[in-house]
Structure 1
Amino acid sequence: MRDTFIHPTACVESGVKLGQGVSVGAFCHVEAGAEIGDNSELMSHVVITGFTSLGENAKVFPHAVLGCEPQNGKHKGGHTKLLIGKNAMIREGVTMHRGSDTSRGYTNVGDDCSFLAYSHVAHDCDVGNHVTFANNVMIGGHCQIGDYAILGGGAGVHQFVRVGHHAFVGGLAALAQDLIPFGMAIGVHAHLGGLNIIGMKRSGLERKEIHAVRRATRMLFDRSKPVKDRVEDVRAEMPDSAAVKDLLGFITADAKRTAFTTPLLRNKHSHSEDDS
């Protein structure tokens, strides 16, 4: 294991906990209360403030700022935290804020996540494992991002919105409602554009389970009833599918936002290419 290295121009305050093999590059500033895990690297001009915990094997690129106070007018300046798991890849200009003292008090980021340049994680969010944010992704406060979710460049997620596991949010999408697990939200004002089939296959779902989720999704969003009213119909139709049970669990969970990202409503008078 390599020795810990602190560049002569870096400022590491008394009270910082540095693991073994940590490298702190030129002009970095790490405030008292921060914890940096073993073998993590802060390249240069990185700022880590407040009570921020960065897991082992992280790599943080220049001008990232981690752990500043939340952009929340209700926050009173109390002791809150930012918790980041192991193997994080945090690119240039990324910002992540601590939790707010009028809410749960911490922001949590799981293991093996990648945050590309200038993406942002707001206060009190819960980001799962193996999540990828492309450049300029922004999520508001209190969002929940499921494991293996991918958010495309410039996507924005409204506060309190949930993004299910293995979901995909397209570039520049504005997501204002919850997105189901494996869902694929596309469009500037995002709609449900299908399922993230590639993600489903990568997750190891069997073909029959993929077909079951596809059928369940069509039933849930067929507009004959509100989505939550269709849950029992779907449960009765596919009682043995673990993937469908997982999907219905997401739909019925108690959440701040009560609407879901839905497919586009097609004009019944429009003609498809097959009609011509």
Structure 2
Amino acid sequence: MSDPSRLSSIHPSAIIAPNAQIGENVEIGPWCVVGANAVLEENVKLHANVIIDGHTILRQGVEVFPFVTIGMAPQDLKYGGEPASCEIGERTIIRENVTIHRGTTQGISSTKVGAHCLIMANSHIAHDCVIGDGVIIVNNVVMGGHVEIGDGARIMGSAAMHQFVRIGRGALVGGLCGVEADVIPYGCVLGNRARLVGLHWIWLKRQGVSHPEMKEMRQAYLDLYPRYLDASRASSKPGSDADADVFASRLAQVKKNYEKNSRVKEIIDFMEAKSRRGLVKVSGLRRREGEPFQD
């Protein structure tokens, strides 16, 4: 790390604490504030009016637009100023008015955003959230504490996620969704409240998943959630013992039938993992699975 006073790209109006660690080729625009425990690695760019507080690390190439705050104290009444951190992965872009709070000792003591993410304007990432690599969060998305979002997920505009919700890898959360429960990897949820309507075929195609594998994933999904489910019985965390037994039987059969398909296994492992929120319900609407690609 370099002495910030030697970096000509720091605007004279910026306030840099003496103990802040500033890397090479960092650009800090007007009226930015960088706290004493902050670390800005090489090629970080703060446009203007950005506040970096607390034990916060911005990895190389992070770009932060105006009026963003990163590493501020969490909005949690239990928080008493205990040491906690915040980390932003390399080459992530954070647009205007985003707020990202540091963790709490009641959680994992850290808030983490992965590499190569795009966090669009006015979004909020709460304390102890863990965001994977390559995630896109569109404007006005908000989340409670302890939310986990897997690599490559897409969270559309004005979606809201309950605390402790898990969003699986490659999942799609539609705009204006209120997400109260976990979304399986590669799942697509729409509506308020969010309901599972299928798999995120577009993302899978862009990742180069083969046509035969997508067909197998579609069949596994339909084995778990048969077509034309009655909305009153469409929960993937069924209410009655009989419903729970039926779903457990389906889950066991899918696990056996598709044990060689790594992506189906990932979905099953996600379903079987410990959860504070359970799984989202399946939409009761009639739908034709597989339309996004030809048989």
- TM, length-normalised to structure 2: 0.86
In the aligned structure 2, how far is the partner of 1:156 from the partner of 1:213? Answer: 28
Amino acid at match of 1:261: V
Identity of aligned residues (%): 36
In the aligned structure 1, how far is the partner of 2:106 from the partner of 2:243? Answer: 37
- CA spacing shift, 1:67–1:207, aligned 2, 3 Å: same
* Alignment map for 1:100-249 (pairs within 5 Å): 100-222=104-226, 225-226=243-244, 227-249=247-269
* Residue 256 in structure 1 maps to residue 258 in structure 2: no
Greater alpha carbon shift after TM alignment, 172-181 vs 202-211? 202-211
Contact 1:77 1:101 in 2 (8 A): no
Q: Per the alignment, in what secondary structure is the counterpart of residue 218 of structure 1?
A: helix
Q: Per the alignment, in what secondary structure is the counterpart of residue 171 of structure 1?
A: coil
- Identify the residue that residue 21 of structure 2 maps to in structure 1: 17
User: What is the aligned counterpart of 1:49 among 53, 58, 61?
Assistant: 53
In the aligned structure 1, how far is the partner of 2:70 from the partner of 2:9? Answer: 20
Partner deviation per Cα, 1:92-141 (whole Å, 9 max, x = no partner): 00000000022210011110000000111110011000000000011111
Amino acid at match of 2:265: K
In the aligned structure 1, how far is the partner of 2:13 from the partner of 2:57? Answer: 22
- Identify the residue that residue 34 of structure 1 maps to in structure 2: 38
Contact 1:4 1:20 in 2 (8 A): no
Amino acid at match of 2:255: R
Greater alpha carbon shift after TM alignment, 80-89 vs 208-217? 208-217
1:255 deviates by 2.1
In the aligned structure 1, how far is the partner of 2:40 from the partner of 2:182? Answer: 33
Partner deviation per Cα, 1:34-54 (whole Å, 9 max, x = no partner): 001101110000011111101
In the aligned structure 2, how far is the partner of 1:248 from the partner of 1:94? Answer: 34
Contact 2:151 2:169 in 1 (8 A): yes
1:193 deviates by 1.6
In the aligned structure 2, how far is the partner of 1:96 from the partner of 1:16? Answer: 19
Contact 1:110 1:130 in 2 (8 A): yes
Contact 1:108 1:125 in 2 (8 A): yes
Contact 1:12 1:29 in 2 (8 A): yes
Runs of 4+ in 1 over 6 A off after TM superposition: none
1:206 deviates by 1.7
In the aligned structure 2, how far is the partner of 1:198 from the partner of 1:230? Answer: 26
Greater alpha carbon shift after TM alignment, 115-124 vs 198-207? 198-207
Amino acid at match of 1:252: E
In the aligned structure 2, how far is the partner of 1:228 from the partner of 1:82? Answer: 39
User: What is the aligned counterpart of 2:90 among 66, 80, 86?
Assistant: 86
Contact 1:170 1:186 in 2 (8 A): yes
Greater alpha carbon shift after TM alignment, 97-106 vs 226-235? 226-235
Contact 2:62 2:88 in 1 (8 A): no
Listed as ranges, the gaps of 5+ residues in structure 2 are 1-6, 227-233, 235-241, 287-295
